């Protein structure tokens, strides 16, 4: 297993996992401009599915605070944030995060993700999800990954089902989305499930550049 926690300060930008058409790596300060453009272009597309966007959410200062938070979580072993890029031209396509990592008897984490409007329904998230599941199960040695989405988010539910997740239940007013406490459908995937093995098959493992 790679030493994922070596060093202090910024995120380890030499960490990368390749999918078939996309790759994931931790966010960098130099990604800010591309991130702002993609988030702004995708605002109307993303707002219905996310927590309320603060007024300053796209500023350089807010982005750097975000990076510091990501770094604290990474080196604390409780959260691992990645951006998604095209392997063809390294265009930023979205983000995927494994957060709320619990050790002890749980050995579990929670998946969150978004894709920019220009790349929706192109298989980007399925590709990135295979990468982050390989990271969760093969590098972090987690036993279980969980996810939740709004019942009406058919695209997100489809991605989770395709990745082998099992629908496990319905949580009332589970998360505050766009200012409203919303019900969510709960999903789970265990590392030895056939779906977990299938979605990781043929993908390269973590490497350092």
Those residues with Cβ within 8 angstroms of residue 66's Cβ, 6 or more apart along the chain or in another chain: 27
Residue 3 is given by DSSP the state -
pLDDT at 166 over 70: yes
For residues 89 and 21, give the distance between their C-alpha atoms in angstroms, rounded to a whole number.
10
Predicted local distance difference test score (pLDDT) of residue 194: 82
pLDDT at 3 over 70: no
Q: Flag whether 133 is in a domain.
A: yes
Domain range enclosing 86: 15-201
SS3 84: strand
Q: Flag whether 62 is in a domain.
A: yes
What's the pLDDT tens digit per position in 88-128?
999 999 999 999 999 999 999 999 999 999 999 999 999 99
Q: Flag whether 180 is in a domain.
A: yes
Q: Flag whether 7 is in a domain.
A: no
User: For the packed helices 32-41 and 60-76, what is the interaxial angle rounded to 10 degrees?
Assistant: 110
Q: Count Cβ atoms within 10 A of the Cβ of residue 62 and give its class: 0-12 exposed, 13-18 middle, 19 or more buried.
A: middle
Predicted local distance difference test score (pLDDT) of residue 12: 87
Q: How confident is the model at residue 7 (pLDDT cuts 50, 70, 90)?
A: very low
What's the pLDDT tens digit per position in 132-145?
999 999 999 999 99
User: Across the chain, what does the average pLDDT equal?
Assistant: 91
Q: How confident is the model at residue 1 (pLDDT cuts 50, 70, 90)?
A: very low
Q: Flag whether 9 is in a domain.
A: no
Looking at the DSSP bridge assignments, the partners of residue 184 are: 171
Q: Flag whether 53 is in a domain.
A: yes
pTM: 0.91
Q: Mean pLDDT throughout 37-60?
A: 96
Report the CATH number at residue 190.
Answer: 3.40.630.30
Number of domains in the chain: 1
Predicted local distance difference test score (pLDDT) of residue 196: 76
Q: Flag whether 206 is in a domain.
A: no
- Please state whether 7 falls in left (phi above 0), alpha (psi between -120 and 50) or beta: left
What's the pLDDT tens digit per position in 139-164?
999 999 999 999 999 999 999 999 99
Q: Flag whether 37 is in a domain.
A: yes
Pair 135, 17: CB distance under 8 Å: yes
């Amino acid at each position: 297993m790679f030493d994922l926690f070596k060093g202090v300060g910024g995120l380890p930008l030499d960490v990368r996992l390749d999918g078939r058409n996309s790759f994931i790596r931790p966010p960098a300060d130099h990604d800010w401009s591309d991130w702002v453009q993609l988030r702004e272009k995708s605002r109307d597309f993303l707002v219905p599915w996310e927590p309320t966007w603060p007024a300053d959410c796209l500023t350089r200062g807010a982005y750097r605070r975000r990076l510091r938070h990501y770094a604290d979580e990474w080196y604390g072993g409780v959260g691992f944030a990645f951006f998604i890029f095209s392997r063809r031209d390294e265009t930023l396509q979205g983000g995927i995060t494994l957060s709320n990592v619990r050790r002890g008897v749980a050995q579990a984490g929670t998946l969150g993700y978004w894709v920019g409007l220009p790349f929706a329904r192109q298989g980007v998230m399925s590709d990135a999800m295979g990468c982050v599941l390989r990271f969760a199960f093969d590098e972090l040695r987690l036993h279980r990954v969980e996810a939740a989405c709004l019942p009406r988010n058919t695209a997100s539910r489809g991605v989770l089902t395709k990745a082998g997740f099992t629908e496990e239940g319905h949580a009332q007013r589970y998360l505050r989305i766009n200012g409203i406490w919303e019900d969510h459908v709960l999903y789970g995937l265990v590392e030895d499930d056939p779906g977990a093995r299938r979605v990781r098959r043929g993908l390269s493992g973590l490497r350092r550049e």
